[in-house]
Copies of this chain bind each other. A is one copy, B any other.
Amino acid sequence: MDVRTLCLGVLTLGEASGYEIKKKLENDYSHFYDASFGSIYPALNRLQSEGLVTCTHEAQARRPDKKVYSVTPEGRLELIRELSEPPGPDRIRSEFMVTLIFADLLPPSYLAQILDERIAYYRGCLDEFENRASEHGSPAQSFVSGFGQAIYSAALQYIEDNRHLVEGESLLSQVERDRSRNDTADITVRG
């Protein structure tokens, strides 16, 4: 699976320009894959030279032509062929988790900070998932989006429940800190 296949896939969901493909990946699928312009534009040119997509130029005032790509029948076949290869294992690189392996070397205040930031990040992702919940075209897309939600939700819960293991605090002081942090919100202590 490379950027070429990814573009071919996005285009089967509807015609789009390179720019729009990038946005779609950022907004909808960035949790499972991403790509930069520097790889998308060459991929589209290659797909076109292979006859897997066609391109129509939309002239625009004082701006480069918008090149809108559509998948050809051969392109659709090629995508199916690619997707019929058994998917490789998920590849994850988490600097965050690697950092925590070495938590003993780092100051507790710094650890608290990156844990807080990560929690905020997951919360933001979950909010976005909920905002987009209505946009899903197919059940399959609901499945994929729901998977992301389930994972982030589990990650959030786990970090909240277990951060004391890296911060080296007693459970008691943990609860105390939660109390002061949430003093304007509901106070819930999870079991």
Contacts and interface: CB of A to CB of B under 8 A. Distances in A.
A185 interface: no
B90 A91 contact: no
B101 A90 contact: no
Nearest to A103: B140
Interface in A75-127: 76, 79-80, 83-84, 86-106, 110, 114, 117, 121
- The size class of the interface chain A forms with chain B is 35 or more
A27 interface: no
Copies of the chain in the assembly: 2
A144 B143 CA distance: 27
B105 A80 contact: yes
A154 interface: yes
Nearest to A148: B97
A142 to B, nearest CB: 6
A136 to B, nearest CB: 10
B95 A92 contact: no
Contacts of A143: 100, 103, 162-163, 165-166
A42 interface: no
Interface in A140-158: 140-144, 146-147, 150-151, 153-155, 157-158
